[in-house]
Copies of this chain bind each other. A is one copy, B any other.
């Protein structure tokens, strides 16, 4: 798969993909010779990698964090212990984020209820949701 088809598949601009390649987040093959330089060739696993990046980004990871995670993951690929360590660190971080999210959600839901009740009693206070 060439870069423009890959871009359509993962729904990202070509420029962004090249940016990710430059950063080392995507490492497509370069076997096909084309213009002034060999072309990038994307495999299905690159599609997964791109989707993973998007997912991690919506969860608040920076690109360099994603890169370090990938590197650590690859580095520990032959030690199950290290792999599990890296994975569990990610899980912990996401769980913290989930708590923040649930906090915000119950705060907002209670606020809706409070408004619907004609603002009876005290307004929900953010401080009560930590």
Verify if A125 is at the interface (C-beta below 8 Å from B): yes
Closest chain B residue to A116, Cβ basis: B84
In the complex, how many angstroms separate the beta carbon of A100 from the nearest chain B beta carbon? Answer: 5
Interface centre among A51, A91, A104, A105 (most CB of B within 10 A): A104
Name the interface size band of chain A: 35 or more
Q: Report how many copies the assembly holds.
A: 2
Verify if A103 is at the interface (C-beta below 8 Å from B): yes
The answer, among B52, B55, B100, for a CB contact under 8 Å with A58, is B100
The SS class assigned to the A binding surface is helix
Interface residues of A (CB under 8 A from B): 48, 51-52, 55-56, 58-60, 80, 83-84, 87-88, 90-91, 94-95, 97-98, 100-105, 108-109, 111-112, 115-116, 118-119, 125-127
Q: Using A55-B103, A87-B108 as known contacts, list a sample of 16 further A-B pairs with CB atoms less than 8 Å apart, ordered by residue number in A.
A: A48-B126, A48-B127, A51-B127, A55-B126, A58-B60, A59-B100, A59-B101, A60-B60, A84-B115, A84-B116, A87-B111, A88-B112, A91-B108, A91-B112, A94-B105, A97-B101
